[in-house]
Protein backbone atom coordinates (compact mmCIF):
# COMPACT_ATOMS: atom_id res chain seq x y z
CA UNK A 1 0.00 0.00 0.00
CA UNK A 2 1.13 3.49 -0.80
CA UNK A 3 1.52 6.38 1.61
CA UNK A 4 3.17 9.76 1.27
CA UNK A 5 5.80 10.91 3.77
CA UNK A 6 7.18 14.46 3.54
CA UNK A 7 6.11 14.67 -0.07
CA UNK A 8 7.67 11.32 -1.07
CA UNK A 9 5.71 8.21 -1.98
CA UNK A 10 6.46 5.14 0.11
CA UNK A 11 5.32 1.56 -0.15
CA UNK A 12 4.53 -0.35 2.99
CA UNK A 13 3.49 -4.01 2.98
CA UNK A 14 0.73 -3.69 5.60
CA UNK A 15 -0.90 -1.30 8.03
CA UNK A 16 1.62 -0.26 10.67
CA UNK A 17 1.62 2.13 13.60
CA UNK A 18 3.22 5.55 13.45
CA UNK A 19 5.88 4.30 15.90
CA UNK A 20 6.74 1.48 13.47
CA UNK A 21 6.92 3.94 10.58
CA UNK A 22 9.31 6.24 12.45
CA UNK A 23 11.46 3.25 13.33
CA UNK A 24 11.56 2.15 9.70
CA UNK A 25 12.59 5.66 8.69
CA UNK A 26 15.26 5.72 11.40
CA UNK A 27 13.71 8.81 12.99
CA UNK A 28 14.11 9.21 16.72
CA UNK A 29 10.84 10.61 18.10
CA UNK A 30 12.52 13.52 19.89
CA UNK A 31 11.92 17.15 18.98
CA UNK A 32 9.60 16.21 16.14
CA UNK A 33 5.95 16.76 15.30
CA UNK A 34 3.88 14.51 13.05
CA UNK A 35 0.76 15.28 11.06
CA UNK A 36 -1.31 12.54 9.50
CA UNK A 37 -3.72 13.95 6.93
CA UNK A 38 -3.22 17.42 8.40
CA UNK A 39 -4.03 16.32 11.96
CA UNK A 40 -1.24 16.52 14.54
CA UNK A 41 -0.71 13.20 16.32
CA UNK A 42 0.41 13.75 19.94
CA UNK A 43 3.60 11.90 20.87
CA UNK A 44 1.73 9.77 23.40
CA UNK A 45 -0.34 8.26 20.57
CA UNK A 46 2.47 7.24 18.20
CA UNK A 47 2.14 3.62 19.34
CA UNK A 48 -1.61 3.52 18.67
CA UNK A 49 -1.97 5.57 15.50
CA UNK A 50 -2.36 3.21 12.57
CA UNK A 51 -1.08 4.32 9.18
CA UNK A 52 -3.44 3.41 6.36
CA UNK A 53 -3.20 3.35 2.58
CA UNK A 54 -3.24 6.82 1.07
CA UNK A 55 -2.29 8.59 4.29
CA UNK A 56 -0.34 11.78 3.87
CA UNK A 57 2.23 12.22 6.61
CA UNK A 58 4.36 15.22 7.48
CA UNK A 59 7.23 14.88 9.94
CA UNK A 60 8.90 18.11 11.02
CA UNK A 61 11.58 19.27 13.42
CA UNK A 62 13.47 22.46 14.14
CA UNK A 63 16.24 23.66 11.85
CA UNK A 64 18.40 26.78 11.80
CA UNK A 65 16.37 29.91 11.15
CA UNK A 66 15.95 33.56 12.01
Partner 1 sequence: MEDILEVGGRRFRSRLMVGTGKYSSYDVMVKALEESGAEVVTVAIRRVNLDRTKESLLDYIDPKRYTILPNTAGCYTAEEAIRTARLAREALDTDLIKLEVIGDEKTLMPDNGALLEAAKVLVKEGFTVLPYTNDDPVVAKKLEDIGCAAVMPLAAPIGSGLGIRNPYNIRIILETVKVPVIVDAGVGTASDAAIAMELGCDGVLMNTGIAGAKDPVKMARAMRLAVEAGRLAYLAGRIPKKLYASASSPVEGIIE
Judged by the rule CB under 8 A, the positions of this chain that interact with partner 1 are 5-8, 25-27, 30-35, 38, 40, 42-43, 58-66
Quick one: which H or E segment has residue 24?
helix 18-24
Closest approach of partner 1 to the CB of residue 57, in Å: 10
Q: How many CB atoms lie within 10 A of CB 30?
A: 7
- Phi, psi angle pair for 36, to nearest 5°: -115, 120
Write down the least CB distance from residue 24 to partner 1, Å: 10
Taking the complex as a whole, the smallest distance from the CB of residue 64 to partner 1 amounts, in Å, to: 4
CA distance 66 to 59: 21
Q: Which is nearer to partner 1, 15 or 35 (CB)?
A: 35
Amino acid sequence: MKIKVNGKEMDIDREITLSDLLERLDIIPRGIAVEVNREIVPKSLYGEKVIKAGDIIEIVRMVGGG
